[in-house]
Amino acid sequence: MTIHFCKGDAQNKVAFILSTPGKLEEEAGCPAAGDTGNNINAILGLLNKSDPIHFPNIDRYRYLITNASTKVMHSAKDNKKTEDTDSNITEQQNINRIRMEVKHCTIVILCGGKANLLAPYLSDKILIKTPHLGYKGLHNKFKNDAPCLKGLSTGKERDAIRLKLCAEEISNQLHISLLKRTGEVQ
């Protein structure tokens, strides 16, 4: 395992692509550290209950995890940026790296806008698009004024609903994609 990559279990066919390793990944020496990693585990727990065939484990490190960029980026570093440039992510050498890393996976979950840049280069995969799975990405996608979040008294309650909504979106996208592949949905 490296700061940007975890190969997961060989038999697992699901990959998560995040944006770039940050400060917590740098400190931990592995991808998806901190809240993002905890959120992935919580989402996997929900997905495992509804679809144990595709999501047999609730531990993120049993799945392939990579990043759209291998550069460690956070506001405390010299560059002060937290995301790599679109042109670096879509550079042919980086695309080749991503394709090689996810070659044995059939389902690729693209987490956030930077990861979504890779979609055209992974058209042979079942692609699931989600917001970045950190709290900022989930808050931007599922706003406090959404009907299902109104009236909840704590941020913790709202965050639990956000994780549930994200898991449901992943499940729904996967279900539709699988139906399309079998020709049951046009």
- For the chain, list the domains and their CATH numbers: 14-182 (3.40.470)
What integer best gives the mean pLDDT of the chain?
A: 92
pLDDT band at 147 (very low <50, low <70, confident <90, very high): confident
pLDDT band at 185 (very low <50, low <70, confident <90, very high): low
The percentage of the chain sitting over the pLDDT mark of 70, rounded to a whole number, equals 98
CB 176 within 8 A of CB 49: no
Tell me the C-alpha distance between 94 and 38, whole Å.
27
User: Phi/psi of residue 106, each to 5°?
Assistant: -105, -25
Q: Is the pTM of this model over 0.85?
A: yes
Tell me the C-alpha distance between 151 and 113, whole Å.
30
Q: Which two structure tokens, joined as six digits, stand for 159?
A: 């965050």
Asked whether residue 35 carries a pLDDT value surpassing 60, the answer given is yes
The 10s digit of each residue's pLDDT in 69-114 is 998 888 877 677 888 999 999 999 999 999 999 999 999 999 999 9
The percentage of the chain sitting over the pLDDT mark of 90, rounded to a whole number, equals 73
Mean pLDDT within 159-172: 95
